[in-house]
Structure 1
């Protein structure tokens, strides 16, 4: 990251060290969203997860991360940049150690939840430190470009690193690798990060964050238990009922109790916000869980090793980055955003329909690479236009809240989508044949394709107009937190 900054014309010394520190932290946060994917079958075998509960290795991280992201963004201003960065990094590091040493499924899920909470504090702090340490203009633009590259690199490296660590060492090292990196970051942060000027008079909507997170977690739990016990059984009904009541309480708190609400509900009166976030919810419910099912398909249906699985994911990442970073911004200056969203969703749906035809006899080109090129092209086309639409045309005072809502919606969609999709797959992998598993996972890919068709239809309810590609130095802070 420091070399990239120098190549972009940045200054040397402490400024470069500071940038390397915050970019390294952002890399870790994004990496841990995906690094466990390839290790899931090994984790399932090592700690005795049932197939239905394996999703909580992923969702236990995603739910606290999404639910406390907006709250975490305010902590740095309230308590000081260095203090919050250290707290978030320390929690993330200790939780990684606990997860890597976990002796039961319950301990691992709890550790992943603590990781997600640490990430929700740490990720916004990295951007706050960056924007307050680099003055507006060329230097900040270069720093933001480096920060963005760190996030992309973390996402790209996750599956490959997970496969390499699982194959050579153990699935535990997908978590333990964070411990020395986090310790080094804490030592450096004491020397290089300034605390800023805490704004102690601001109030935090902790109640809103807790209600939103526990409400969505309860809904996700209810849906996930339905796979094992049926929708009418006591546990699913209890989870769904509790989740609904907690979300109603969240609405009451946001509208009547909180003096500085986590989420101003009046934003939903805007079509860009209400329709755009619905599309983002569904997109997140499709594009994030697909890594879960692709991992299981490669290892259980095609008998790929963890390392080979990680390598097989490279085309997905490369195509999505090239399309998202190069092609889509060019198209957004010429084509309506809603047209791009609809087109991308239809292309991605076709790719997932193709992916659903995977069989134990499929070769890599027809079974993995071909579908990957199609749905990665589609996902690359639709994500940026949705993001831009949801965060455009707002008053300055609402820009951060709308951007934070968009990120939260995407993460919650991923968690709920995974819980719903798991109910479509087989529950007994030990008894299932490879062909049976292929059919089972194929149902999940078909469900993803159907949801993306709905996204395409929703796109035409978005306002007309060409997408705008804002300068990254002027984009709302929360927009850049992934």
Structure 2
């Protein structure tokens, strides 16, 4: 008896299933990155309400931001390596669950200490989540042109998320209360979790991945950065020469030196020191530190200036940040179209120069300033320039990186931005505080002078970033007749990762 003919399978082939998943993976990665970046800036507009509700000091206000940023920055490298060793899907899901749970704890906090501690845990979740989003993109989009389009979308979300945080924060603070700037993450996180379980494929990590994670390295760099920022913030109440300040700064330097020693000795370092010998990668991350320093401080200082000096409400402040949101998105989309054509260097130099001019203009703010003429134009220039720089510096930092090192590269570039943000915010807030203290009579005049001086220093950060950008590769290489095709991570610049 002959057997029946086999039924034709209607299930798509693996490549077809992957093709159908690809847009959803990009959407999931961008949504998660938007949530993480949003949470860096969403609290800025809500800080005055948090201060009144929980009795926070000015330093306490900074720690609401910096507890998240420092945990985020210090552990991003660990998150990047976890994505490589354990698998991007597992790291993504673990970070997402931890981030949502910590957001709930933040919203339920009854005092400043609890809120700051919950923000640190939230930063840990973000540190696992953020590099996994870029790893998912780099391992899903292997063709250079499609990868660049995907990274352009990711960079737009990255810049737009930070900008939109002020708008969303203002609306939530005004109409729902400051606790909702944290509660909003819970439904978003659950929706992303459901989509990730359906569409993100499981990829096995390296054998023994968990045992190979460099926990001593992660701990030393986190403690070192925290001590440095604590020392800088302490100068607001203690002189630079006090044992309190120098003790914290010395401890930070000691732990960072220990981090370098650990990385040179362990078998599976968090950051293989040989990676930092790649010129393009090292310079791009230094430029990212300058970019992050200016970007974080811009939202923080402008929010306080508009509420404490100009007397705007939280919702009005948030809505007036909309031009900045648009400028960031315009900048990132413009650079996405140009980076493959002219290379990252020209875009970075141009973007940082535009931002430098904007910050110099902002340093001239006055007590009776008018938003439409004195704040919006320079603010728009700052945001446009920072948006233009986001994609090219990320592209330069990840050029030539192999898929197995995708998490490390994305962790490094994210870490540089967050480290820059934490240190920049601490430095510029201290500069503003010292500027206020120089006035014998406290008030809006003193606050305005302090904020103006801080914007002047922000211009110095972006000018240094522009100078550093000159050392990046110029135009992309043009393949000759006998040239070999670039690998998945190549093809962005002429210099590669050399």
Same fold, TM-score > 0.5, yes or no: yes
User: How far apart are 1:22 and its partner, in Å?
Assistant: 4.6
Quote the residue 1:316 is aligned against: 324
Per-residue deviation, 1:169: 1.1
Residues 25 and 185 in structure 1, CA contact (< 8 A), matched pair in contact too: yes
Note closer, same or farther for the CA distance 1:146–1:415 as it changes in structure 2 (3 Å cut): closer
- Are residues 1:60 and 2:67 paired? yes
Within the alignment, does 1:456 sit opposite 2:466 as a pair? yes
**Please, which of 342, 346, 351 is the counterpart of residue 344 of structure 1?**
351
Bigger shift: 306-315 or 449-458? Answer: 449-458
Q: Which residue of 1 aligns with 2:171?
A: 164
Hey, what does 1:230 align to over in structure 2? 239
Match of 1:293 in 2: 301
Listed as ranges, the gaps of 5+ residues in structure 2 are: 1-16, 479-486, 491-498
- Which has the larger displacement, 260-269 or 124-133? 124-133
Asked whether the equivalents of residues 70 and 422 of structure 2 are also in contact (C-alpha less than 8 Å), the reply is yes
Q: Return the offset for 1:379.
A: 2.3
Which of 363, 368, 374 matches 1:361?
A: 368
Match for residue 225 of structure 2 among 211, 216, 240: 216
1:344–1:377 CA contact under 8 A, matched in 2: yes
Task: Quote the residue 1:281 is aligned against.
Answer: 289
Aligned equivalents of 1:406, 1:391: Cα separation in 2: 8
Inter-partner Cα distance in structure 2 for 1:58 and 1:14: 36
Partner of 2:474: 465
Tell me, yes or no, if structure 1 residue 442 matches structure 2 residue 460. no
Match of 2:56, SS? coil
**Range with bigger deviation, 357-366 or 17-26:** 17-26
Give runs of aligned pairs for residues 45-194 of structure 1, distance below 5 A. 45-76=52-83, 78-79=85-86, 83-128=90-135, 150-151=157-158, 153-186=160-193, 189-190=196-197, 193-194=200-201
1:392-433 deviation per Cα after TM superposition (whole angstroms, max 9, x unaligned) = 46677766544432221121011011111111123789x732
| Structure 1 stretch displaced more, 448-457 or 189-198 | 189-198
TM normalised by structure 2 equals 0.82
Residue 244 to residue 339, structure 1, CA distance change in 2 (3 Å): same
The structure number with the bigger radius of gyration is: 2
Change in Cα spacing, 1:259 to 1:122, as seen in structure 2 (3 Å) is same
Please list, as runs of the form range in 1=range in 2, the aligned pairs for 1:22-33 lying within 5 A after superposition.
22-33=29-40
Is the 1:333–1:468 Cα contact (8 Å) retained in structure 2?
no
Cα separation, 2, equivalents of 1:147 and 1:189: 17
In the superposition, relative to structure 1, how do residues 150 and 274 fare at CA in structure 2: closer, same or farther (>3 Å)?
Answer: closer
Aligned equivalent of 2:13 = none
Q: Given the alignment, which residue of 372, 385, 401 partners 2:379?
A: 372
Structure 1 residues 274 and 30: alpha-carbon distance in aligned structure 2, compared to 1, 3 A threshold: closer
CA drift of 1:351 comes to: 1.0
CA shift in 2, pair 1:396/1:123, >3 Å: closer
**Aligned length, in residue pairs:** 462
Structure 1 residues 332 and 128: CA distance shift in structure 2, 3 A = closer
Task: Classify 1:99/1:385 alpha carbon distance in 2 versus 1 (closer, same or farther; 3 Å).
Answer: same
Moved more, 146-155 or 110-119: 146-155
CA contact (8 A) 1:52 1:228 kept: no
Asked whether the 8 Å contact 1:280–1:410 carries over to 2, the reply is yes
| Distance of aligned partners of 1:353 and 1:249 in 2 relative to their CA distance in 1, 3 Å threshold | same
CA separation of 1:24 and 1:327: change in aligned 2, threshold 3 A: closer
SS at match of 1:321: helix
- The answer to which of 245-254 and 374-383 deviates more is 374-383
- Structure 1 residue 464: Cα displacement: 5.0
- CA change 1:421–1:400 in 2 (3 A) is same
Aligned match of 1:199? 206
Residues 249-290 of structure 1, C-alpha deviations (whole Å, 9 max, x = no match): 10111001x212111223333433443333322222112211
Q: Is the 8 A contact 2:164 2:325 kept in 1?
A: no
Q: 1:413 to 1:19 in 2, by over 3 A?
A: closer
1:250 aligns with 2:259: yes
Q: Is the Cα–Cα contact under 8 Å of residues 289 and 414 in structure 1 kept in the other structure?
A: yes
Question: Does the Cα contact within 8 Å between 1:102 and 1:108 map onto a contact in 2?
Answer: yes
Asked if 1 retains the 8 angstrom alpha-carbon contact of 2:402 and 2:489, the reply is: no
Give 3-state SS (helix, strand or coil) of 1:228's partner. coil
Question: Are 2:431 and 1:421 equivalent residues in the alignment?
Answer: no
RMSD between aligned residues: 3.4
Provide the residue aligned with 2:250 in structure 1.
Answer: 241
- Determine if the alignment matches structure 1 residue 410 to structure 2 residue 420: no
Q: Is the 8 A contact 2:358 2:382 kept in 1?
A: yes
Q: Which region of structure 1 is more displaced relative to structure 2, 120-129 or 299-308?
A: 120-129
Tell me by how many angstroms 1:92 deviates: 0.9
How far does residue 391 in structure 1 lie from its aligned partner after superposition?
3.6
Indicate if the aligned counterparts of 1:297 and 1:438 stay in contact, CA closer than 8 A: yes
**Partners in 2 of 1:154 and 1:359 — Cα distance?**
29
Corresponding residue SS for 1:68: helix
